[in-house]
Structure 1
Amino acid sequence: MATRITYSFVLKPEANKRGLNPIYIRAFQHGKKIEIATSVALSKEDWSEKKQRVKRRNLAHEKYNAILEAFEKKALKVILNNFVHEDTALTLGQFKDYMHSAGQSEESFTNYILHYLNENKARLKLESWWSYKSQITKMLKFKKEVAFADINEKFINDYQHYMLHVLRNNENTVSKSLRSLRTFVNISMRYGYIKSNPFKYITIKKVDGKRDFLTAEELNKLSQAYFTGEIVDVKEKEILQYFLFSCYTGLRYSDLKVLKTSSIEGNSLQIKMHKTGYMVGIPLTNKALQLLPEQSQSQTVFRVYCNKVTNRILKELGRRYNIPKKLTCHVARHTFATVSITLGIPIEVVSKLLGHTNLKTTQVYAKIVDSVKEREMAKWDTL
C-alpha cells in the first residue's frame, strides 16, 4: 500500500526580522519532507511542542490556534479524501499546493467569476462573454460547488482528466477550457482571492486540430448549385450566399454579421476585423462580386442567421451534394486559405488577406495541402 503523508507543526529555530520564530507544517512521505509556512510567528517560550499549539500566555493565542486548526482541518481533509476516493496516493507536491490555499476564501469561485463577467460584459466581446459563461457551466458539471480554496494543481489535473475521459473532449477543446480557467485564476489572484498560482507547473498544450475545408471541386459544386438556381428555399439560399462569399474572401462569421455596404468600394472590401481589430483590404474576385446583393435595404450586406441555424443548414446542403465534410461557417475561411495556397498565392499574401497577425497561424494551412507539397517537390524534376 502507498505510504500516506504524515505531518506536524514545528517551530523554526531561526527567528525572523521581528525576533519571532515562525511556525511551519513539516510533512513526510517515503523519507522525504517538505515545509509549509503558516502565518503564525511567536517567541519560543509561547510554543507547546507537546500540544502543538500556542500557549495561553501569548495574548493572541486564540487567534493563532484558530489559524493552526484551520491548517490542520485542511490537511486532514485532503489526506482523508485522497485515501477514500483516489487510486493513487497524494504526493508531497500536491499536498503542499493544497495547503497553500489554506488561507484562501471558502467562498464560491464560480459565483465570483460569473459576477465578474456580468459586471464587465460591456467591455468584453460578446463571443468571449458567452464562451466564458459556457466554461463555468462546464466546470460545474465536474464539481457542483467550486470554492476558491478548491483551485489547486490537483483540481486542474482532475478536471483535465474528466474532460478527456468522461466528456471525451479532444485535446484542443481541453486546452481552450484550461486557458479559460487560467484566465479566471489570474482574475482571482489579481483581487487577492487566490494566493498562489496553481498553474505554475502546468503546461497547456495546443495541438493542430483537424481543419475541414472544401476542395476546389467541392467549392465549384456548391457555387454552381447557387448560381444555377438549384437552391430555391429562401433561407438555404441566403445562408449559402454568405457562406460562398466567405469562401471567396476568407471573412469570419463574426465579420459577415457586421459587414456594411459602406465597406465595399468598387471591386474591393475594407473591413476592420472583429476578432483582431486590424483593418484589412480584400480585392473582390468576380465570383465574390456576383454574390453581393443587388440592392440592400439595410446597412449590412447580408442577412446572417445565428451560428446554430447557419451550421445546421450547411450540414444539410453538404449531405445533399455528397460533400463528406462537416460543413460549418468557419469551413469557408479554411477553404479560402487552402484553395488560395493551392492556386499558388504566396502564403505571406494569404496571411494578410486573412488578417492574421502572425505568419505561423497561416502556415498551418500550408501543412495540410498535399497538392502544394507535390507541386513544389516536382520542381526537383526540372534539375
Structure 2
Amino acid sequence: MSTRHTCHTVSLLRRPIKNGRLSLYLDFYPAIRNPETMKMTRREYLGIYIYAKPCNETQQDFNCQMLEKAEAIRCLRVASLINEKFDFLDHDRMNGDFLAYFKKMCRRKSTKWPAAYSHFSKFVRYHCTFGQLTVDLCRNFRNYLLSAVQLRRTHYAIRRNSAAVYYSTFRSVLKMAYRDKLLKENINEFLEKIYPEEVRKQYLTSSELKRLASTPCEIDVLKRASLFSCLTGLRISDILNLRWEDIHFSPDQGYCIRIRTQKTRSIAILPLSDEAVELCGSNTSFGIVFKGLKRSMSNHPLKKWIRQAGITKHITFHSFRHTYATLQIAAGTDIYTVSKMLTHKNVVTTQIYVNLVNEKKWATVSRITLK
C-alpha cells in the first residue's frame, strides 16, 4: 500500500518596501508549521532586500549577490522539507547544538531545569550535538548523577531525589527534541528513570503552629507569608508571585484567589479565610501582595525564627504546605477537597498526608495505660 506525500513548493518572491527596495521572502505551499510558535504559516521573511530599479553597476552587483543568497536559502528549505517528508534527518540538523536547545527549554521553568542543564553541560564538557545523543551517553549521564557532587557545595553529593528530578528533566528535553524532529528516535524508550527515595514529610502540629504564630520574627513579611502558606497550602513560588489583582471578593462567599500555579501551570480558585486575608496586609488593589519577600529568606532567617519558637524539627518553607494538608485531613476535610486546594493533578499525590494522619492515630495507642 503506497503512502501519498504532500508535495511542497517553495517560491522566492518579492515585496515592495520603502526607499525603492524589494524585500525577499519565501512562500510555502501548502503552509508549514513554525517550530517556534507552532502556528501554520506560508511566509518566511529572509531579512534580505534588493533594489527595485538598480541605477548603477554597484546596485546591480548587490542585487545579484543577494538573489544568490536568497536562492541558497530556498534550496536549503526545499532539502529540509524533503528530508522531513521521507523521515530523514539532514546533516546540519544532526550537527545542531543540543546544549543551546536545552538552555532554551529552561526558560520560564523551575530552578531544577537550569540545574539539570548545568549538570549535563558539565558531564559532556560543555559540548554536545544532537547527533552525539546516544542511549549509552544518556545512561552514562544517569550514572553520573547518582555519584556527582552539587554544583555550588562541591563537598556534598547530589541527593538521590534531586538526581531523580534532574534526570527526569533531561528526559523531558529529549522528548521535546524528538517531538521537534531534532532526534531520529525516541531515546526515552530505552532509558530507565531514577527512582526517588521516600522522604518523610515534616509538618507542624496545631500547637506548634500556634506557638510559631505567637513568636516574633525579625522579618515581618517572612512571618506573614509563612503563616499564609500554613492557612492556604500555597507554594513559595506562588506566594512570591501573588498579586492583589489575583484576590477577589464575593458578597456571598467572601475572599478568594484566582491564580495559575507556577509548578503545574493549572488555574485554581482558592477561598481565603479572614485570618489569611489579614496576613496579606494593607490592600493596595494592585502589585505584589507580599512585597519585599525573597526566596533567600526561607534559609537562615526562617531557621532562626523556627528555633526561637522552640521547634526542633527540620522545617522548611515547603513544610508549611505539608502542615496545611495534614491539619486539614486531621480535622476531617475529605481528601478530594484537600487535593483540589493543593492543586494536585492526581489525588494519589495527596494520599501521603492521609498516611501521616494515620501514623499520628497509631501513636496515641500507648498514651492510655492501666499501669
Q: TM-score range by the shorter chain?
A: 0.5 to 0.7
Q: Partner letter of residue 336 of structure 1?
A: Y
| 1:253-264 pair list within 5 angstroms | 253-262=236-245, 263-264=247-248
For residues 61-93 of structure 1, the C-alpha deviation after alignment (integer angstroms, 9 at most, x for no partner) is xxxxxxxxxxxxxxxxxxxxxxxxxxxxxxxxx
Q: Secondary structure at the match of 1:368?
A: helix
1:213 aligns with 2:196: no
* C-alpha separation in 1, matches of 2:315 and 2:109: 20
Contact 2:230/2:323 (CA < 8 Å) preserved in 1? yes
1:192-231 correspondence runs (5 A): 192-204=181-193, 205-225=195-215, 230-231=216-217
* 369 and 203 in structure 1: CA distance in 2 versus 1, 3 angstrom threshold: farther
Amino acid at match of 1:223: A
Give the paired residue count: 262
Question: What is the alpha-carbon distance in structure 1 between the residues aligned to residue 257 and residue 163 of structure 2?
Answer: 35
Residue 135 (structure 1) aligned with residue 124 (structure 2): no
CA separation of 1:307 and 1:127: change in aligned 2, threshold 3 A: farther
Amino acid at match of 2:313: K
- Cα distance in 1 for partners of 2:365, 2:351 equals 17
249, 274, 278: which is aligned to 2:267? Answer: 278
Q: Decide whether aligned partners of structure 1 residues 341 and 375 sit closer, same or farther in structure 2, where only a CA change above 3 A counts.
A: farther
Distance in 2, matches of 1:365 and 1:183, equals: 28
Give the letter aligned to residue 277 of structure 1. Answer: S
Classify 1:106/1:322 alpha carbon distance in 2 versus 1 (closer, same or farther; 3 Å). farther
Compare the two structures and name the one with the higher helix fraction: 1
Q: CA RMSD in A?
A: 3.1
Pair 1:298–1:188, CA change in 2 (3 A): closer
Do residues 334 (structure 1) and 318 (structure 2) align? no
Give me the whole-angstrom Cα distance separating, in 2, the residues matched to 1:155 and 1:209.
30
Q: Which residue of 2 aligns with 1:158?
A: 140
Q: Which residue of 2 aligns with 1:318?
A: 306
Identity, % of aligned positions: 23
* Deviation at residue 273 of structure 1 after TM alignment: 3.4
2:290 aligned to which of 302, 305, 317: 302
The answer to whether the Cα contact below 8 Å between 1:257 and 1:304 also exists between their aligned partners in 2 is no
Match of 1:243 in 2: 226
1:209 deviates by 3.1
Give the Cα–Cα distance (whole angstroms) in 2 for the partners of residues 176 and 355 of structure 1.
Answer: 20
TM-score, normalising length from structure 2? 0.62
* Contact 1:273-1:279 at 8 Å conserved across structures: yes
Q: Normalising by the residue count of structure 1, what TM-score does the alignment of the two structures yield?
A: 0.60
**Hey, what does 1:175 align to over in structure 2?**
164
CA distance in 1, matches of 2:182, 2:244: 48
**Following superposition of structure 1 onto structure 2, how do residues 37-76 of structure 1 map, counting pairs within 5 Å?**
none
